[in-house]
């Protein structure tokens, strides 16, 4: 189980004018603070993701989903708030909770000169797994993900779907109880997307280990077809939470996309003629 309590994260963004000589550099250094902009990427996000469920973090691009998941995955330190994974507090850069999590980032980050098997084994070594257990888990994952034919090919030149399978196997090699996926269907074709969806449903089931799965997306259909619980994020804040049906009822909409727009952009929404009359 993953408990997220009031996460906040801001970044300082600087303009980057061209630097051609020392005079330009001096002007840049003196003006740097004036040019700085504070970006509040996450502004008090809270939610609980239960075991045996798929929790979707739904929001438009730039809503704060990726920053939130990076803090949950111990890759980024929050300015305030905390994350509890299976009773232990997550601390950025420390490995105490990372053994409980399998993380699939949007970047994928495969080593192109290594085979799929070598990519998976490398992460198993990082988790302190024995060679025997690593080999066993690799074969299991290859069977479940239908990727036996990929294992001994170098990942350089893999399709997006093949890369996704390899990255997912790598993230799951240590059999984590909690799985974090950042927009996992980005760039996937229909067949690969359907295969991933079915695999996530299986991981959520008792047969698959009743995993706690959290994934971010901006695709309505993925949420409707997969999620037991949905957290809507807008401008760095969580603005609504519930099942798909509950969110449509809350927004008084019969279409989930309409419900999302109504809830996520409530403050920016232009009142209808009826509401203004």
pLDDT at 81: 94
- The tens digit of pLDDT for each residue in 91-123 reads 877 666 677 889 887 656 789 999 999 999 999
pLDDT at 260: 93
Does residue 190 register a pLDDT over 90?
Answer: no
pLDDT at 251: 92
Does residue 192 register a pLDDT over 80?
Answer: yes
pLDDT at 277: 42
pTM of the prediction?
0.83
What does each C-alpha distance from 176 to 29, 133, 138, 192 come to in angstroms? 46, 14, 14, 23
Are 52 and 210 within 8 A, CB to CB?
yes
- The tens digit of pLDDT for each residue in 8-25 reads 999 876 555 555 566 665
Half-sphere exposure of residue 220: CA atoms within 13 angstroms, side-chain side = 11
Q: What is the mean pLDDT of residues 144-152?
A: 92
pLDDT at 95: 66
Q: For the domain made up of 2-108+177-276, give the CATH fold.
A: Rossmann fold (3.40.50)
Write out the DSSP string of 155-173.
STT--HHHHHHHHHHHHHT
Does residue 80 register a pLDDT over 90?
Answer: yes
- The tens digit of pLDDT for each residue in 216-241 reads 988 888 899 899 999 999 999 999 99
The percent of residues above 70 in pLDDT, for the chain, comes to 84
């Amino acid at each position: 189980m993953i408990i997220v309590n009031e996460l906040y994260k801001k970044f300082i963004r600087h303009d980057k004018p061209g630097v051609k000589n020392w005079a330009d550099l001096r002007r840049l250094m003196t003006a740097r603070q004036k040019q700085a902009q504070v970006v509040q990427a996450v502004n008090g996000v809270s939610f609980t993701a239960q075991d045996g469920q798929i929790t979707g973090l739904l929001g438009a691009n730039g809503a704060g989903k990726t920053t939130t998941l990076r803090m949950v995955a111990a890759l980024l330190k929050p300015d305030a708030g905390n994350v509890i994974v299976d009773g232990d507090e997550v601390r950025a850069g420390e490995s105490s909770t990372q053994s409980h999590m399998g993380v699939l980032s949007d970047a994928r980050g495969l080593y192109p000169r290594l085979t799929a098997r070598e990519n998976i084994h490398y992460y198993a070594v990082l988790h302190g797994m024995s060679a025997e257990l690593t080999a066993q888990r690799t074969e299991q994952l290859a069977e479940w993900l239908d990727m036996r034919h990929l294992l001994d090919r170098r990942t350089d030149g893999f399709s997006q779907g093949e890369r996704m399978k390899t990255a997912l196997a790598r993230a799951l090699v240590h059999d984590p109880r909690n799985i974090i996926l950042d927009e996992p269907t980005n760039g996937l074709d229909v067949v690969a997307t359907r295969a991933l969806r079915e695999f996530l449903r299986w991981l959520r089931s008792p047969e698959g280990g009743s995993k706690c799965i959290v994934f971010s997306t901006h695709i309505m259909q993925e949420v409707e077809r997969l999620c037991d619980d949905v957290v809507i994020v807008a401008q760095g804040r969580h603005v609504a939470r519930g099942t798909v049906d509950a969110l449509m009822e809350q927004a008084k909409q019969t279409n989930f996309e309409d419900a999302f727009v109504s809830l996520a952009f409530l403050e920016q929404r232009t009142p209808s003629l009826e509401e203004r009359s």
